[in-house]
Structure 1
Amino acid sequence: MRIRPLVAGAATVASLAVLSGCGAASADPEGPVTLEYWAWPAGSKTVVDEWNAANPDIQVKLSDAGGGDESSQKLLTASRAGNAPDLALVEYTTLPSLIVADVPLEITDYVGDVQDAFTEGTWAQTTFDGAVFGVPQDVGPMALVFREDRFEELGVPVPTTWEEFREAAAAVKEADPDSVITSLPPTEFGFFAGVATQAGGQWWSVNGEEWSVGIADEASLEVADYFEELATEGLIQTEPLLTPEYNAMVNAGTMLSWPSAVWAPGVIESVAPDTAGSWAMAPLPQWTPGDTAVAYQGGSALVVTKDSEHPEEAAKFATWLNASEEGNTLLLDEQSLYPASSLGQEMAESNDPPTLMPQQDDFYAVSADISAQTVPVTWGPNVNLAKSVFEDELGKAIRNGTPWRDAFVATQDAVVADMKETGFAVSDG
């Protein structure tokens, strides 16, 4: 398969409609400053309690806003009403659309001194047109989580390239027709965006004020063809993940891997705790042998909103949590997150491995190696629409036996039409 060279470097998303200004520093308050903080990870209350105990002049009040699309929509609604919190946790996929909506504040002047605490690819997740709109909190470097015992039992080598993945999938099916190497349903939008980026695709990019959409670029279409062939040959499933049927296969040892990210062990353990000790993690297979760069799948950043009356204090909390030793200890021990900062990832190496794979002592060392070579997926302003169309169109292609690449093309067409209708300049090239 011909794959274009990987495009590395910082994500630049210039002129996301109107970029908010840096905002004036808050006036000296009478008494302690109180910051409203929206987050969802378990352990967030402990984080806030630790901060409040050590910072009597800057107190943080936590609200659980839920995660995912629900959280970003609630934040957008609150911002439009002029009562957004001072701080909010935001997934990387939704940050560009929130910048377009003028929700987060540019905080370059407040957080620029902690940039070196993150890799270039990680910092790029929150940096647009040279302006910083958040502090990275956790990341999901893509990786392969697999049933180590079943691979050994069937005599199937762990794949290091996607071509070897195809060979491994065929070997699994031949050795045990009741088993399958993985399931990749249409709902795995983040996975397909990640492996397309790994192959050199750019689903969104911008030059000046003109956007380009590459969901149907050549690299991405070749990725679509590759996984379509695996599905057509019966080497992978396309059934939804984490359903009772899927979970039964995971527990029975007949679902042998999950190409996903370093956060996957916790998810698997939640549905198949009795399989602990049978799993391991390896780097994601490569499109080009020797090219170790992979994309992120998942992760979030802490933003300061334009409604905050205390942006400097809010940014201070964000940098403490995500760039200090104390904050990263809390991310690891209380929130079970994989930290975005290089410091946090180094600290993780002294932690015990996930309980799903207690035998893999090098889990966090492998994770750090992968993370050091990740590149960001450049998300656009209408990710939610893209995700919805992609899931519908790919599901239709699978049901009707039509080319998967048609789903990528249909998604691109819908995304471009929506961006033009919304007022973005979009290249037709």
Structure 2
Amino acid sequence: MTGLDRRRLLRLAGTTGLGAGALAACASGAEGDPIASGPVTLDLWTHDPGYVTYFTSAATDPAITGDSAWKYSIATTSTSPADVVSRTINQAVAQRPLPNLTGLVIDQFPRVMRSGIAENLFVDLTDVAARFGDGLLKTQPYTVDGRVYAIESDNSISVMWYRADRFADLGIPEDVATWEDLLAIGAEIAADTGEAIGMVSNGDNGAIVNGFTQMLLQRGGSLYDASGELAVLSEESVEVLALMAEGVRTGALLSIADPYGSAAAAAIKDGRLIGTVMPNWYKVYGLEANAPDQAGLWRARTIPRFASGGHIASTLGGTAFAVLKDQAETDAALDFLERAYLTPEGQLARYGFGGYLPTLVDLYDAPEFQEITDPFLGDQRVFEVYAAAANDMPLFYQAADASLLRDSLGGPILRAVNGEIDPEAALREGLRAYERQVAE
């Protein structure tokens, strides 16, 4: 790989847990001259079978690739999100074949933000993204030193999902304006019925910090600023953590180990959880999967604002695709990604295959999306909600040491949520632990 600092990259790759045996198992191959047109097979690495299905279909969809200079076919490799990154790095270190397109889960992307890894492995997509200006959402998490290296698959818009039947029975207005008002109502409901209008995690560090970050972004705060500097210790962070603790104390927010696992599923099924703020994908994987008998009872709305400011939406999760550089198929892979991910036809098809929300903000008001009704949501025109949210999305920045920050903050945040420590003291404690690890 041209310009790749092999020694530095090898040291980093050593932390992935894939040693010489894994490298030896990879087949070798040679790069040829650029393929300018005609048949081309693109190797795709991803963790999600939904992307396999979509990309395989898009390759032969005339509306997406019909006028391309290339005729595409897709070869796929499926593995875990962490292994996608590990194998890509290790293959580059060993100078073995790389994928043409690789899917980077958002919390794995910081692993390529150091030591020039993204710059050396991936095509710089900054100029591609710049053509859309502010109309292309969620490029910030995949930006290194001001350059964009991957394109998001799903806007992962967080909205509020709620049981319309229970809200009506309990007299909860569907248009409660602020978090403060909603939690006050939720405290009364919890005392009377044991039902909760939201949840927070008390499980692993990832789930704990993800939940905090989702609310922090909505409030207008962030873990990092645009330059990659820490922004955790802020009035917004303290306010969010205090509000979470108050919600747990009163029972308005259900404290649960895994928002995506069996405990949450049970709470949804038995009606203890009648509302939650989660991204669009949670409707399929959290609500529909666990409570199909509740079809027609749930609705979506934008998130109540904080009384002191912020947004009506947030975000959590995501997967972006990068194009590997300096390969015979690089030009073809870039053309394919643009067609599949940055055209109206591609974004509409992507939603149809996996419910992946558009990243082109103008599409939220297009009739093709506005006219979509959702049976699980009582035939609600859900893009009316998504459109309002997409136009008020917070920005999300990352840095190379994001995983260290997550592990450092998880414990103190949980203690603050449980009322065992002051919110500001918890954040300072987490930052001290983070700074010690970064300094090592």
TM-score scaled to structure 2, two decimals?
0.79
2:368 matched to 1:368? Answer: no
Match of 2:270 in 1: 252
Match of 1:149 in 2: 165
2:432 matched to 1:416? Answer: no
Segments of structure 1 that go 5 or more residues without pairing to the other structure are 1-16, 19-24, 422-429
SS in 2 for 1:167: helix
CA-to-aligned-CA distance 1:322-377 (integer Å, 9 cap, x gap): 1123312320111221121235534552453334213312x112102201211221
**Alignment match of 2:107 (pick from 93, 116, 140):** 93
Alpha-carbon separation, structure 1, partners of 2:298 and 2:196: 15
Aligned partner letter, 1:197:
L
CA-to-aligned-CA distance 1:39-70 (integer Å, 9 cap, x gap): 32426335324414645835343324345445
- Deviation, 1:275, is 0.6
Match of 1:22 in 2: none
Structure 1 pair 216–357 and aligned structure 2 pair: CA distance change class (3 A): same
Match of 1:27 in 2: 34
Match of 1:168 in 2: 185
Alpha-carbon separation, structure 1, partners of 2:171 and 2:92: 56
Aligned partner letter, 1:59:
Y
CA-to-aligned-CA distance 1:162-189 (integer Å, 9 cap, x gap): 111211211312431x212222014242
Match of 1:287 in 2: 306
Alpha-carbon separation, structure 2, partners of 1:332 and 1:180: 31
Aligned partner letter, 2:76:
S
Segments of structure 2 that go 5 or more residues without pairing to the other structure are 1-7, 10-31
Match of 1:62 in 2: 75
- Deviation, 1:279, is 0.6
Alpha-carbon separation, structure 2, partners of 1:77 and 1:396: 38
- Deviation, 1:407, is 3.9
Given that 1:90 and 1:300 are in contact with CA atoms closer than 8 Å, whether structure 2 keeps it comes out as yes
Match of 1:191 in 2: 211
Match of 1:322 in 2: 341
Q: Greater share of helix residues, 1 or 2?
A: 2
Structure 1 pair 300–242 and aligned structure 2 pair: CA distance change class (3 A): closer
CA-to-aligned-CA distance 1:136-194 (integer Å, 9 cap, x gap): 32111221111111111011223321111211211312431x21222201424223112
Structure 1 pair 70–239 and aligned structure 2 pair: CA distance change class (3 A): farther
Alpha-carbon separation, structure 1, partners of 2:77 and 2:164: 37
With 214-223 and 125-134 compared, the bigger mean Cα shift is at 125-134
Structure 1 pair 75–57 and aligned structure 2 pair: CA distance change class (3 A): same
Match of 2:350 in 1: 331
Given that 1:320 and 1:327 are in contact with CA atoms closer than 8 Å, whether structure 2 keeps it comes out as yes
Alpha-carbon separation, structure 2, partners of 1:284 and 1:79: 43
Number of aligned residue pairs: 393
Alpha-carbon separation, structure 1, partners of 2:152 and 2:45: 15
- Deviation, 1:109, is 6.6
2:355 matched to 1:357? Answer: no
SS in 2 for 1:301: strand
Given that 1:194 and 1:377 are in contact with CA atoms closer than 8 Å, whether structure 2 keeps it comes out as no
Match of 1:275 in 2: 294
Alpha-carbon separation, structure 1, partners of 2:322 and 2:147: 13
2:67 matched to 1:47? Answer: no
Alpha-carbon separation, structure 2, partners of 1:401 and 1:45: 47
Aligned partner letter, 2:160:
L
Given that 1:157 and 1:168 are in contact with CA atoms closer than 8 Å, whether structure 2 keeps it comes out as no
- Deviation, 1:88, is 1.1
**Alignment match of 1:80 (pick from 77, 93, 97):** 93
Given that 1:199 and 1:287 are in contact with CA atoms closer than 8 Å, whether structure 2 keeps it comes out as yes
Match of 2:249 in 1: 232
What is the percentage of aligned positions where both structures have the same residue?
A: 18
2:225 matched to 1:205? Answer: yes
CA-to-aligned-CA distance 1:185-226 (integer Å, 9 cap, x gap): 14242231122123232311365xxx5212232321221112
SS in 1 for 2:220: coil
- Deviation, 1:396, is 5.0
Match of 1:214 in 2: 231
SS in 1 for 2:88: helix
Alpha-carbon separation, structure 2, partners of 1:289 and 1:357: 30
Given that 1:37 and 1:87 are in contact with CA atoms closer than 8 Å, whether structure 2 keeps it comes out as yes
Structure 1 pair 245–124 and aligned structure 2 pair: CA distance change class (3 A): closer
Structure 1 pair 31–150 and aligned structure 2 pair: CA distance change class (3 A): closer
SS in 2 for 1:379: coil
SS in 1 for 2:398: coil
Structure 1 pair 157–265 and aligned structure 2 pair: CA distance change class (3 A): same
